[in-house]
Amino acid sequence: MGTSLVATLVLAGCGTPPAKDFGGRWKPVNRFQDAPTEIPLAKNYTFYAAPMDGTLKTMLTRWAKDSGVQLSYELPSDYTLFKPVTQISTTDIQSATAELNSIYAAQGVHVSADDRRILVQSASQAPMDAAPVSQPAAGAPGPSAAPSGDK
């Protein structure tokens, strides 16, 4: 009886339908591309206002921490964020600070940045040009040492 049971099971296995031929859009796996694709390992930081920031100082503190620079906040007051700040979304810190200067001009706030820090001060204390001023190297001639027209 055991052999007839095994024979029945073997014959039943042969009676199943064949596998279906699946058509449609599919790609074979484990194939290399024809050309390389660049995959950035580090994304550029995007300067933007997050709803949880709430104030200018909090937002700039986050920007400084996330981008690895220091924040030098030299104002006696903080300012709430308002709708125009939500339009800032850039990977360029200079562009972001220029937008902040435009937005907070009525409050007399001036924001500047360089590769080491974000500086916030009153517009009356800020240099006349919006670009950060680099200090000359020790021993290098300063602006007053420029040659005159006399020879």
Measured CA to CA, the distance from residue 99 to residue 114 in angstroms comes to 16
Q: What is the pLDDT of residues 28-40, one digit of tens each?
A: 777 888 899 988 8
**Between 142 and 120, whose confidence is greater?**
120
Beta-carbon-side half-sphere exposure of residue 76 (alpha carbons within 13 Å): 1
Backbone angles phi, psi at 111, to 5 degrees: -115, 130
Tokens for 42? 């580090």
Task: Write down the residue that tokens 């790609």 correspond to.
Answer: 27
Stretch 73-90: mean pLDDT: 96
The third-level CATH classification (topology) of the domain covering 47-122 is: Phage tail protein beta-alpha-beta fold (3.55.50)
Stretch 117-123: mean pLDDT: 94
**Biggest CA-to-CA distance, the chain:** 123
Stretch 76-100: mean pLDDT: 96
Q: Which residues share a beta bridge with 119?
A: 72, 112
